Structure 1
Amino acid sequence: MMSDAEFLSECAAIVGDSHLLCQDIDTAPYLTDWRRRYTGRALAVVLPTDTAQTAAVVRACNRHGVAIVPQGGNTGLVGGATPCEPGRQIVLSLRRLNRIRDIDLDNHTLTAEAGCILQHVQNAAHDAGRLFPLSLAAEGSCTLGGNLATNAGGTAVLRYGNARELCLGLEVVTAQGEVWDGLRGLRKDNTGYDLRDLFIGSEGTLGIITAATVKLFPQPRARMTALAAVSSPRAAVTLLGMAQEQAGPLLTGFELMSDFCLRLVQSHFPALRYPFATPQPYMVLLELSDNESEAHARGLLESILEASLERGVVDDALVAENMRQSHAFWHLRESIPLAQAQEGLNIKHDIAVPVSRIAAFIEATDPLIQRDFPGARMVTFGHLGDGNLHYNVQAPEGGDPKHFLQHEAAINRLVFDSVLAQQGSISAEHGLGRLKRNAIERYKSQVEIGLMRALKASLDPNGVLNPGKVLPDAR
């Protein structure tokens, strides 16, 4: 095995000295995850400028026995893009692969490189008169490659699907340093195994996504937003059914937020006022996107709310009068994670259960947490329309958050077992990363884990891609 110095010299020859970061002051931002839960070590941070350089670096890593941690915007929440402590590894940052390669208006597609900031992709589509609907709180800093590697969801999954549904083709550097060009803008292609879907959601453990061809949609002529106060998650699910029945595919967003979520937001961001005059147990943020007119969208939304008020499903409602107020409603929702961070360390859960079982899950799990951890505060919010909840647990008021975090394993076990009882998933859109990779042994069958191991061994026989992520430790 050659020395580290020889390896780094080879990387510098590929990407240039200025794009090989070795000093602690330069590498530090890449070695700690967004939540500051994990910090690792790396020989260097390598920043290639294109797919050819990326492939060359991967080949060098294979020759020298160096592992690779692919990284986009480093906004992940499960430590999937953070290097582990042991072993020889580099962080391969794809930030410089940031070009929009093509926009095909007739085919309604856009091809962009993996390092493109999601918001830049949205803007490029908008400037071309189209919509790229993937939207999430980190869109100003997360990257398209990271979105695909984690199969990101966001706020518009209900209508447009998650990242997998929005992607038609990929360009991938394999674990051996070969390039698979699968950038086909096809809606139909039955020529063998679906490699695209295999790499999406694999968190950089099977290949490195370097570019993607994604779907574009017509820009809606109008968006209408409302906040509805409901007494319980069951009422919210009923409202969802009514909205889907009346609005069909025009229903773009349906977000659930508990009273405590918005009181937390108001506490830490006083300019963001609680929207209703009196406290409400739960609130739903609805949005319609209409290709006809604003009047049509407003009439439809008001009709949904009027019917739900008459039936007692909704207790109060606010319809945004303009885009400014609509943005204010969304700002409340998007500020919940920031308010949680301000409040102190917390235990996050990104879970999915069938929509029909969401109410049962909350009704069963809330009392269990209070039984075992009295005073714990539940920060329950998320994408109710697609069954994805961020079911987070905050320390009791006045308690020591660091001490409360010592209960994380026990709380996770309680929540995950409850998820399993409702036939759900312990990760809906954040992935497994380092945080949940060992937990899946309890919640996936040995057949499923065996198939995942077989795929990893086949596509990455040298184990160079993102070790210590997704798959549980070998027994």
Structure 2
Amino acid sequence: MCHIARMNDTAPAGFLKEAAALLGPRGLTTDPELVAPWLTDWRGRFTGRACALASPANVEEVSALVRLCAEHGVPIVPQGGNSGMSGGATPDESGTALLLSLRRMNAIREIDTESGRATCEAGVILQTLHESAEAQDLRFPLTLGGKGSATVGGLISTNAGGSQVLRHGSMRALVLGLEAVLADGQVFSQLTPLKKDNRGFDLKQLLIGSEGTLGIVTAATLRLLPAVAERVVIWAGVSSLPAARTLLLHCDAMEGEALEGFEVMPQASIDAVVEHLPTARPPLEGRHAWHVLIEVVADRAQADSLRDRCEAMMAEAFEKDLVEDAALSASESQAEAFWLIRETVPPAERARGPAVQHDISVPVEAMPAFVETTAPMLEAEFPGTEAIAFGHLGDGNVHYHVIAPGAADARAWNATEGKAISRRVHDLVTQWGGSISAEHGIGQLKRDELARLGDPVALSMLRAVKQALDPRGLLNPGKLV
């Protein structure tokens, strides 16, 4: 099926001709086969149409293209790796929008080893950034399962998190400087970071997490840290989520800044991974209500003592009855094997059948009680379902999946009961003082729910900023606000 509209159906006369002259044959295409793969979101929930796919090579081309779109009134949908979870980089079905890919802008302009900074373009793949930093004995302290496709621009636009937010924060904390093209084609350029700068608003923070609705991120200066010299990954079994929370506090008290990851998964998720991934082996022999994945790291100065400290930390945890069983990684390959189990939880859950997934957060201290209270409540209200929660206990981010009864028709169930479940989950999250989007953005998936549940004053401020920076609504229309 062809998803791309013909020029005379959707684009103002002359627009595609001028865009083609500006970008050249590598920079603009209307070939349906080339465009089609980028018209559906990663989860397959949304499919749209576009008048063309633009792939500019530099910020000057982006600026000129945005000015051209403004002249002709053509909406723009920016896209990075197309690995988002909320349909934020997918155009609508009208076919009027230009799909703007930043993937050609993939240069790492500089890695400054002395200051611990990387300046790179929006299309740089996260894994490429990791590898480039590691080659300089540095690291970028944000990682996630989609690191092989997620781009720097997309991560910034959605304020992505990941497994190291516990210690280093989300993208908001890691972006030191930013370059972006605004709705009128002007280039906002603040790539040079300053420790102190009191010249009014921190404008780059407006763009971080704005999902391309206020400007198109083209480059960024990012914080780097010294490379990890040694790490120990620990797999522990605990009796409950409150017990896991107590274990987190214990580990944090003993290791502090060295504690970088603390993930929780129920036994059902481990069972799903073992069934889905034939090579997976549970790190512990017994079954436990909850499993905890802990990562502790050290620089060169602390590397020699890391294992002894981790063994002491877990020995004390056993003495305090905080854990039922535990295993420490004996090698880097075993550490990776532990993490592979955690990263396989989402695809393993999807393989079980229809489900509604929720990327939510609650206050950190409330996460155990939230899960223990709401999961049985949802299962009782929607008979036959199973509520599964897993995620980053240290930052309150819960990946909250509600799995459909067996043999349910996916499309019909998602459109009816699944929709009702999501509404109920979002109501509960709001009642607990949380957020309906922790790290994947609002996009088009949660736009209406944000309008329904968001604080009216906050929503009014969001809309006022949008109106001020994009009065014609041409940047990623239909997303966020």
Look up the match of 2:91: 83
Amino acid across the alignment from 2:226? P
> Comparing 451-460 with 179-188, which one deviates more in the overlay?
179-188
Look up the match of 1:287: 295
- Tell me the secondary structure at the aligned position of residue 440 of structure 2: coil
Q: Is the 8 A contact 1:81 1:433 kept in 2?
A: yes
What does residue range 335-374 of structure 1 map to in structure 2 within 5 Å? 335-374=344-383
Structure 2 residue 219 is matched with structure 1 residue 216: no
TM-score by length of 1: 0.97
Distance across 2 between alignment mates of 1:338 and 1:87: 31
Look up the match of 1:9: 17
Deviations 1:89-144 (A, max 9, x none): 11000000000111111111110000000111111111111111110000001100
Distance across 1 between alignment mates of 2:11 and 2:120: 36
Matched-pair identity in %: 45
- The gaps in structure 2 that reach 5 residues or longer are 1-7
TM-score by length of 2: 0.95
Distance across 2 between alignment mates of 1:238 and 1:375: 32
Look up the match of 1:435: 445
Distance across 1 between alignment mates of 2:353 and 2:83: 19
Q: Is the 8 A contact 2:376 2:387 kept in 1?
A: no
- The gaps in structure 1 that reach 5 residues or longer are none
Structure 2 residue 262 is matched with structure 1 residue 271: no
> Comparing 187-196 with 109-118, which one deviates more in the overlay?
187-196
Look up the match of 1:175: 183
Structure 2 residue 131 is matched with structure 1 residue 128: no
- Tell me the secondary structure at the aligned position of residue 18 of structure 1: coil
Distance across 2 between alignment mates of 1:22 and 1:275: 50
What does residue range 76-115 of structure 1 map to in structure 2 within 5 Å? 76-86=84-94, 88-115=96-123
Deviations 1:402-439 (A, max 9, x none): 34323122111221121122211110000100010110
What does residue range 282-431 of structure 1 map to in structure 2 within 5 Å? 282-291=290-299, 292-405=301-414, 406-431=416-441
Distance across 2 between alignment mates of 1:412 and 1:9: 44
Q: Is the 8 A contact 1:290 1:297 kept in 2?
A: yes
What does residue range 21-170 of structure 1 map to in structure 2 within 5 Å? 21-86=29-94, 88-170=96-178
Pick one of 186, 197, 203 that aligns with 1:189.
Answer: 197
Q: Is the 8 A contact 1:224 1:294 kept in 2?
A: no
Amino acid across the alignment from 2:331? N
Distance across 2 between alignment mates of 1:275 and 1:380: 20
Q: Is the 8 A contact 1:233 1:359 kept in 2?
A: yes
- Tell me the secondary structure at the aligned position of residue 280 of structure 1: coil
Distance across 2 between alignment mates of 1:350 and 1:216: 27
How far has the Cα of 1:88 moved from its partner? 1.5
How far has the Cα of 1:24 moved from its partner? 1.5
How far has the Cα of 1:376 moved from its partner? 1.5
Deviations 1:220-268 (A, max 9, x none): 2211100010111111111111111111111000001111111111111
Pick one of 247, 266, 269 that aligns with 1:239.
Answer: 247
> Comparing 370-379 with 63-72, which one deviates more in the overlay?
370-379
How far has the Cα of 1:182 moved from its partner? 0.7
How far has the Cα of 1:451 moved from its partner? 0.6
Distance across 1 between alignment mates of 2:294 and 2:223: 24
- Tell me the secondary structure at the aligned position of residue 438 of structure 1: helix
How far has the Cα of 1:401 moved from its partner? 3.2
Give the aligned CA root-mean-square deviation in angstroms. Answer: 1.5
How far has the Cα of 1:343 moved from its partner? 2.4
Amino acid across the alignment from 1:263? D
How far has the Cα of 1:17 moved from its partner? 2.0
- Tell me the secondary structure at the aligned position of residue 26 of structure 1: helix
- Tell me the secondary structure at the aligned position of residue 11 of structure 1: helix
How far has the Cα of 1:76 moved from its partner? 0.1
- Tell me the secondary structure at the aligned position of residue 313 of structure 2: helix
Amino acid across the alignment from 1:296? S
Q: Is the 8 A contact 1:109 1:185 kept in 2?
A: no
Q: Is the 8 A contact 1:78 1:433 kept in 2?
A: yes
